[in-house]
């Protein structure tokens, strides 16, 4: 195969690998951002659980303070009941006292609800803290992996770019320009041609003379439809051909002369 044509085939492989490595480099920050977003969610869950527990504790203290206020009212109403002079005043005080006692019962029920919910909130907090710990570990591992992978990718890119430069130097300037133009437009440049005499990418059938030129693999031939550079891939050998090639003819060797009777006797 023409060396320039082989360089172009190798160049496309290198360019494809460069594109893949660059895509990997670009994807790593996105993966780290995803892990960090999950970590932020875990932190928010822990903060929300702590805030809820603090709010419950604050509400419980408020209810206890309100109960104390109602108890003071009850004590005051009872003291006043000893001093009332009319039945109507007494009934009014008893009504206020009953109302205060009812308020105390409501407040005690609320405190009980908070106490019952406290265990659930503690379990939720423990789960949130465990998830935060796991996500923090995963975040650090992912960051370290990203740092190592980025360093490896950058080294690989340096090596690939050096190969790319060397391969391009072995191709004529006009052909390199054509290669770059088609790569930008089509995403690929090199198109193998098989026995069907067609460009394997765009599937356009080649003219007989063009196919003959491609089969030689000794010149740069482009597809008239997609402008890709063509090269011929010969068919694999048939089974009978492989079997024939495997046969190794025996080397000629001098035949051993039979021993004469008289010589043996001597």
Boundary-marking domain end, from 169, 192, 212: 169
106 with 157, same domain: the answer is yes
110 with 194, same domain: the answer is no
User: Rounded CA gap, 244 and 241, in Å?
Assistant: 5
DSSP secondary structure, 129-143, as one string:
HHHHHHHHHHHHHHH
pLDDT score recorded for residue 242: 62
156 with 62, same domain: the answer is yes
107 with 59, same domain: the answer is yes
The answer to the question of residue 249 being in a domain is: no
The answer to the question of residue 155 being in a domain is: yes
Structure tokens at 205: 């059938």
The answer to the question of residue 147 being in a domain is: yes
pTM score over 0.95? no
72 with 197, same domain: the answer is no
The answer to the question of residue 194 being in a domain is: yes
12 with 62, same domain: the answer is yes
Q: Is 237 within 8 Å of 263 (Cβ atoms)?
A: no
Per-residue pLDDT of the chain (266 residues; tens, 9 = 90+): 899 999 999 999 999 999 999 998 888 888 888 888 888 888 998 998 899 889 989 999 999 999 999 999 999 988 888 888 888 888 888 899 899 999 999 999 999 998 888 888 888 889 989 989 988 888 888 888 888 988 999 999 999 999 999 999 999 999 999 999 999 999 999 999 999 999 999 999 999 999 999 999 999 999 999 999 999 999 888 776 666 666 655 444 454 454 444 443 33
The answer to the question of residue 247 being in a domain is: no
Cα distances (angstroms) measured from residue 98 to each of 13, 64, 125, 182: 90, 18, 40, 92
Q: How many CA atoms lie within 13 A of 14 on its CB side?
A: 19
pLDDT score recorded for residue 253: 47
User: Rounded CA gap, 45 and 50, in Å?
Assistant: 9
User: Rounded CA gap, 45 and 224, in Å?
Assistant: 62
CATH number of 64's domain: 1.10.287.1490
133 with 200, same domain: the answer is no
The answer to the question of residue 255 being in a domain is: no
26 with 149, same domain: the answer is yes
Q: Which element (helix H / strand E) includes 200?
A: none
141 with 227, same domain: the answer is no
Domain residue limits at 148: 3-169
28 with 118, same domain: the answer is yes
pLDDT score recorded for residue 154: 93
Cα distances (angstroms) measured from residue 30 to each of 17, 138, 140, 157: 20, 15, 15, 20
3-state secondary structure of 74: helix
165 with 184, same domain: the answer is no
Give 266's DSSP letter.
-
Q: How many domains does the chain have?
A: 2
The answer to the question of residue 250 being in a domain is: no
159 with 183, same domain: the answer is no
Residues 6 or more apart whose Cβ sits within 8 Å of residue 167: 7, 8, 10, 11, 14
The answer to the question of residue 259 being in a domain is: no
* Gyration radius from the chain CA atoms: 45
């Amino acid at each position: 195969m023409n060396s320039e044509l082989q360089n172009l085939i190798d160049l496309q492989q290198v360019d494809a690998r460069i594109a893949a490595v660059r895509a990997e480099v670009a994807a790593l920050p996105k993966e780290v951002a995803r892990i960090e977003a999950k970590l932020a969610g875990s932190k928010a869950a822990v903060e929300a659980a702590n805030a809820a527990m603090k709010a419950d504790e604050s509400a419980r203290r408020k209810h206890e303070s309100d109960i104390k206020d109602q108890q003071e009212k009850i004590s005051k109403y009872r003291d006043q009941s000893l001093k009332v002079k009319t039945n109507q005043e007494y009934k009014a005080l008893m009504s206020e006292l009953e109302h205060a006692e009812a308020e105390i019962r409501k407040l005690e029920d609320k405190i009980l609800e908070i106490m019952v919910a406290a265990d659930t909130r503690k379990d939720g907090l423990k789960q949130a803290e465990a998830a935060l710990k796991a996500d923090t570990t995963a975040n650090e591992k992912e960051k370290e992996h990203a740092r190592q992978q980025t360093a490896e990718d950058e080294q690989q890119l340096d090596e690939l770019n050096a190969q790319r430069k060397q391969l391009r130097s072995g191709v004529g300037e006009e052909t390199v320009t054509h290669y770059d133009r088609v790569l930008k437009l089509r995403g690929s440049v090199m198109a193998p041609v098989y026995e069907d005499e067609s460009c394997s990418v765009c599937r356009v059938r080649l003219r007989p003379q063009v196919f003959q030129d491609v089969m030689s693999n000794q010149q740069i031939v482009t597809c008239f439809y997609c402008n890709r550079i063509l090269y011929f891939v010969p068919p694999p050998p048939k089974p009978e051909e492989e079997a024939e090639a495997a046969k190794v003819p025996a080397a000629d060797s001098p035949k051993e002369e039979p021993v004469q009777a008289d010589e043996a006797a001597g």
